[in-house]
């Protein structure tokens, strides 16, 4: 980290920051429908060393490519940044879009190192946007709260990167707490932290990264979003959040089959999130398995965002003792999660490797995640 910073910029950084990746426990494609999500921050991070300059240059490099990107604050615009640097530099541009006076600040040097697998559905992108937003907020004394920093990251991803993603990822990354999930109402942006108690129940969450890479900006994500908007418009509501299971019969009568199934996923998924929260509070994480399983079936059959590798990961997890399992993230690849007794993690990993080999799929990466604290500054 420090060596990488010195290689690119010379000398030492003056501050150190980190932002975690995230896993969504349940509530998929509900965020941009003004609904509910229940993600947690994980124990994998993007770490960033930073140092202010005394001119107007922004210089950013990442161990991901070791390429050094440089641009003046005076030239920063969504059109002037591209590639991976759209994430960190886009967050700075978006801070300006939210009212930060970027005319009065000086440049900065940023060096990034990450152990969040990229494109695996664990939101390496939000970690990157959030770590930059958090750091410049403090170093430039911009005065934004964490909710606004999440919106800044989202704006960057939407406008600069061009991926029409919701507010979930940045919220989990910025608001996460250890051994807890974040319930986020994506309409009001109200959030609450709900204890998971995994440790006490001797439960573990295992991520299986299928290494099938998704591509949000060009993939089916935008098409799903468009279907949801079309469904809401046809049903006369601002967003699908305004509908409940009582509206399903009317939706089925009005909509074509595909749009109806997209709408049904969102309506039932919102219900599952709220039910998960209720069960977590009353009975604990060991009792949420059937909701995780039902969420996967809904994404596979109604929303059609799963892929065979994700279905296999979920099926194998269920066969090998998981309390519940589902694909997580935007879909079309990425990762699945399984909630399982801690003592069964080793045998689940073996089973995943064997099943993927037998199916002729790429070897998956199977690892445990611990729900963790959100983005933070570290002492140097």
User: Which parts of this chain interact with ligand ADP (CB under 6 A)?
Assistant: 46, 62, 64, 84, 87, 112, 114, 118-125, 128, 216
Residue 51 contact partner, candidates ligand ADP, Mg ion, none, CB within 5 to 8 A by sort of partner: none
Whether residue 249 is annotated as binding a ligand: the answer is: no
Specify whether 169 is catalytic.
yes
Single out the residue of 227, 276, 275 nearest to residue 255, CA to CA: 227
The single-letter DSSP state of residue 316 is: H
Smallest distance from ligand ADP to CB 67, Å: 9
Whether residue 87 is annotated as binding a ligand: the answer is: no
Residue 3: burial class (beta carbons within 10 Å; 0-12, 13-18, 19+): exposed
Q: How far apart are CA 226 and CA 221, in angstroms?
A: 9
Residue 112 contact partner, candidates ligand ADP, Mg ion, none, CB within 5 to 8 A by sort of partner: ligand ADP
- When binding is defined by CB under 5 A, the residue of 61, 62, 114, 125 that contacts Mg ion is 125
Stretches 110-118, 121-129, 295-303, 363-371: which one binds Mg ion (CB under 5 A)?
121-129
Residue 84 contact partner, candidates Mg ion, ligand ADP, none, CB within 5 to 8 A by sort of partner: ligand ADP
Whether residue 28 is annotated as binding a ligand: the answer is: yes
Smallest distance from Mg ion to CB 289, Å: 27
Pairing verdict, β 365-369 and 203-209? antiparallel
Whether residue 121 is annotated as binding a ligand: the answer is: yes
- CB-based contacts of 100-105 (< 8 A; 24+ apart in sequence): 100/136, 100/140, 100/142, 100/144, 102/73, 102/76, 105/73, 105/136, 105/140
Catalytic hit among 169, 209, 293, 302: 169
Whether residue 31 is annotated as binding a ligand: the answer is: yes
168-175 and 124-139 helices, crossing angle to 10°: 60
Residue 5 contact partner, candidates ligand ADP, Mg ion, none, CB within 5 to 8 A by sort of partner: none
Smallest distance from ligand ADP to CB 75, Å: 21
State which residue, 85 or 298, has the beta carbon closest to ligand ADP: 85
State which residue, 12 or 63, has the beta carbon closest to ligand ADP: 63
Sign of CA dihedral 141, 146, 152, 156: positive
**Extended strands (E) in 298-378:** 324-328, 335-341, 365-369, 376-378
Q: Would you tell me how many other CB atoms lie within 10 Å of the CB of residue 237?
A: 14
For the annotated binding site for ATP, the residues are 62, 119-125
Give the residue ranges of the annotated binding site for substrate: 28-31, 221
Active site residues: 169
């Amino acid at each position: 980290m420090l060596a990488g910073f010195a290689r690119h910029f010379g000398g030492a950084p003056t501050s150190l920051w980190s932002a975690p990746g995230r896993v969504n426990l349940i509530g998929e494609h509900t965020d941009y429908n003004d609904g509910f999500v229940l993600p947690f921050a994980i124990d994998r991070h993007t770490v960033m060393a930073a140092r202010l300059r005394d001119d107007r240059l922004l210089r950013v490099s990442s161990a991901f490519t070791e390429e050094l990107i440089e641009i003046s604050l005076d030239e920063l615009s969504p059109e002037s940044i591209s590639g991976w640097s759209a994430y960190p530099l886009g967050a700075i541009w978006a801070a300006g879009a939210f009212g930060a006076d970027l005319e009065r600040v000086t440049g900065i040097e940023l060096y990034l190192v990450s152990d969040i697998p990229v494109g695996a559905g664990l939101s390496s992108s939000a970690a990157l946007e959030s770590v930059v937003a958090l750091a410049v907020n403090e170093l430039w004394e911009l005065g934004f709260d964490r909710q606004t920093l999440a919106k800044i990251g989202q704006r960057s991803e939407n406008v600069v990167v061009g991926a029409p993603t919701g507010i979930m990822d940045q919220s989990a990354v910025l608001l996460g707490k250890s051994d807890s999930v974040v319930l986020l109402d994506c309409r009001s942006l109200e959030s609450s932290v709900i204890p998971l108690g995994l440790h006490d129940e001797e439960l573990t969450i295992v991520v299986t990264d299928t290494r099938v890479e998704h591509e949000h900006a060009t993939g089916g994500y935008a098409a799903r979003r468009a279907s949801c908007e079309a469904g809401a418009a046809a049903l006369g509501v601002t967003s699908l959040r305004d509908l409940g299971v009582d509206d399903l019969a009317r939706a089925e009568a009005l909509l074509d089959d595909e749009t109806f199934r997209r709408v049904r996923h969102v309506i039932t998924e919102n219900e599952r999130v709220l039910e998960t929260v209720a069960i977590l509070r009353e009975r604990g994480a060991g009792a949420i398995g059937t909701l995780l399983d039902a969420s996967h079936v809904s994404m596979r059959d109604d929303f059609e965002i799963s892929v065979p590798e994700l279905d296999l990961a979920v099926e194998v997890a269920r066969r090998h003792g998981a309390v519940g399992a589902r694909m997580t993230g935007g879909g079309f690849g990425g990762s699945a999660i399984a909630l399982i007794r801690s003592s069964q993690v080793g045998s689940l990993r073996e089973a995943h490797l064997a099943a993927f080999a037998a199916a002729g799929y790429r070897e998956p990466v199977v690892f445990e995640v611990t729900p963790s604290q959100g983005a933070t500054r570290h002492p140097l």
